[in-house]
Structure 1
Amino acid sequence: MQKQTHNRRGIRHLVAASAALISSTSAQAIEIQAGDWKFTANGNVNVHYIHSSCDNDGTAPVAGGLACIGSAGEDDSSSVSDGLLPAALVFGASTTQNDWDISANFGFYPGISTNDGGSPNLGGTNTALGTTGLDVRQVYMTFGKKDLGTFMLGRNFGLFGFDAIISDMTISGVGAGNGNYAAPANTSLGSIGLGYIYVDTLAQMNYTTPDFSGFKATIGIFDPVEPILQGAPTPKAAPGVHGKLAYTAGAVYLSATFLEQKQEGVIAGEDYTSRGFDAGGKLTFGAAELMAYYYAGKGLGTTGLFLLSDDGAGHARDSDGFLAQATYKFGATKVGVNYGESNLDLADGEASSNLVKKNSKVTAGVYHSLTKNLTLLAEFSDVKAKAHDDTKNKSNSFNVGAFLSF
Structure 2
Amino acid sequence: MNKNIKLAVAGAVLAMSATAANAGIIIPAGEWTLDVNGNVNAFAIMGSAKDSNVISGGGLALTKDAASEKSNNSINTGLLPAWLGFTGTTRQNDTDVSFTISMQPNVSSNGSAGDSAAPATLFRQANFTFGDKSWGSIKLGKDIGIFASNAILNDMTLLGVGGQGVATSGHSTTLGGIGTGYIYAAWKGQVAYTTPNFNGFQATVGLTNPNQGIASVGTLTTGTAASTLNQDRFGLEAQANYSFAQDNFSGKIWVGGASYKVKPTSTLEYTASAGDIGMNLNAGGVGLTAYYYKGDGVGTTFMHSNSVSVGGQKRDSDGGYLQATYVLPTKTKVGIAYGVSKLDLATGETALSTTVKENERFTAGLYHPLTKHLNLVAEYNKIESTGQTNLKNTSDAVSLGGILFF
- Tell me, what secondary structure is at the counterpart of 1:68? coil
% identical aligned pairs: 38
Structure 1 residue 230 and structure 2 residue 222: aligned?
Answer: yes
The aligned length equals 374
* 1:55, distance to aligned residue in structure 2 (A): 3.0
Alignment check: 8 A CA contact 1:23 1:90 kept: no
- 1:171 alignment partner, one of 154, 158, 170: 158
The question of 1:185 aligning with 2:138 is answered no
Deviation above 6 Å: which 4+ runs of structure 1?
none
Deviation at 1:98, TM superposition (A): 0.9
Alignment pair present for 1:66 and 2:60: yes
Tell me, in whole angstroms, the C-alpha distance in 2 between the residues paired with 1:346 and 1:90: 42
Residue number in structure 2 paired with 1:38? 33
> 1:267-306 alignment to 2 at 5 Å?
267-268=266-267, 270-306=268-304
Give 1:297's aligned amino acid: G
CA distance in 1, matches of 2:230, 2:166: 35
**Deviation of residue 113 (structure 1)?**
1.4
Contact 2:181 2:320 in 1 (8 A): yes
Q: Report the 3-state secondary structure (helix = DSSP H, G, I; strand = E; otherwise coil) of the residue aligned with 2:153.
A: helix
Q: Higher mean Cα deviation, 349-358 or 225-234?
A: 225-234
- 3-state SS in 1 of match to 2:206: strand
The AA in structure 1 aligned to 2:222 is Q
Deviations 1:38-71 (A, max 9, x none): 1111100111110000134x43335311101111
Distance in 2 between residues matched to 1:198 and 1:180, nearest whole Å: 17
Amino acid aligned to 1:154: G
Q: Per the alignment, in what secondary structure is the counterpart of residue 379 of structure 1?
A: strand
> Which residue number corresponds to residue 147 of structure 1?
134
Give the C-alpha shift of residue 341 in structure 1. 0.1
Question: How much has 1:180 moved relative to structure 2?
Answer: 5.6
Q: Which residue of 2 aligns with 1:255?
A: 254
Whole-angstrom distance in 1 between the partners of 2:321 and 2:296: 19
1:353 aligns with 2:355: no
Alignment of 1:7-22 (within 5 A): 21-22=8-9
For structure 2, the 5+ residue unaligned runs are 1-6, 14-20
Which position in structure 2 is the counterpart of 1:113?
108
Residue equivalent to 2:396: 396
Distance between the aligned counterparts of 2:56 and 2:358, measured in 1?
10
User: Which residue does 2:190 correspond to in 1?
Assistant: 204
- Distance in 2 of aligned mates of 1:328 and 1:334: 6
2:47 matched to which residue of 1? 52
Equivalent position of 1:5 in the other structure = none
Cα deviations across residues 86-113 of structure 1 (Å, max 9, x unaligned)? 2100110111111111111101100111
Check 1:321–1:308 CA distance in 2 against 1; reply closer, same or farther (3 A cut).
Answer: same
- Is contact 1:23-1:44 (8 Å) kept? no
Provide the secondary structure at the position in 2 that maps to 1:264.
Answer: strand
* Partner amino acid, structure 2, of 1:128: A
Which residue number corresponds to residue 119 of structure 1?
none
Amino acid in the other structure paired with 1:212: F
1:369-388 paired onto structure 2 within 5 Å: 369-388=369-388
Structure 1 residues without counterparts, runs of 5 or longer: 1-19, 115-124
Please state if 1:213 is matched with 2:204: no
In structure 2, C-alpha distance between the alignment counterparts of 1:367 and 1:164, rounded to whole Å: 19
How far, CA to CA, are the matches of 2:307 and 2:300 in structure 1?
7
Alpha-carbon deviation of 1:129? 5.4
Quote the offset at 1:145 in angstroms. Answer: 1.0
Q: What amino acid maps onto 2:206 in structure 1?
A: G
Q: 1:266 to 1:379 in 2, by over 3 A?
A: closer
In structure 2, the partner of 1:10 is none
Using the size of structure 1 for normalisation, the TM-score is 0.88
Question: Are the counterparts in 1 of residues 260 and 271 from structure 2 also a CA contact under 8 Å?
Answer: yes
SS in 1 for 2:350: coil
> Does the CA contact (< 8 Å) of 2:359 and 2:386 recur in 1?
yes
Q: Distance in 1 between matches of 2:156 and 2:114?
A: 35
8 A contact 2:322–2:338 mirrored in 1: yes
Instruction: Give CA deviations for 1:115-143 in whole Å, capped at 9, x if unaligned.
Output: xxxxxxxxxx5213536631101000000
Could you say what secondary structure the match of 2:265 adopts? coil
Between the aligned partners of 1:65 and 1:336, the Cα distance in structure 2 is 25
Letter in 2 for 1:304: F
TM-score of the two chains, using structure 2 as the length reference: 0.88
Q: Distance in 2 between matches of 1:287 and 1:362?
A: 22
Counterpart-to-counterpart distance in 2, 1:167 and 1:225:
24
Cα distance in 2, alignment partners of residues 87 and 107 from structure 1: 10
Amino acid corresponding to residue 281 of structure 1 in structure 2: M
Q: Which residue of structure 2 lines up, in the alignment, with residue 8 of structure 1? A: none
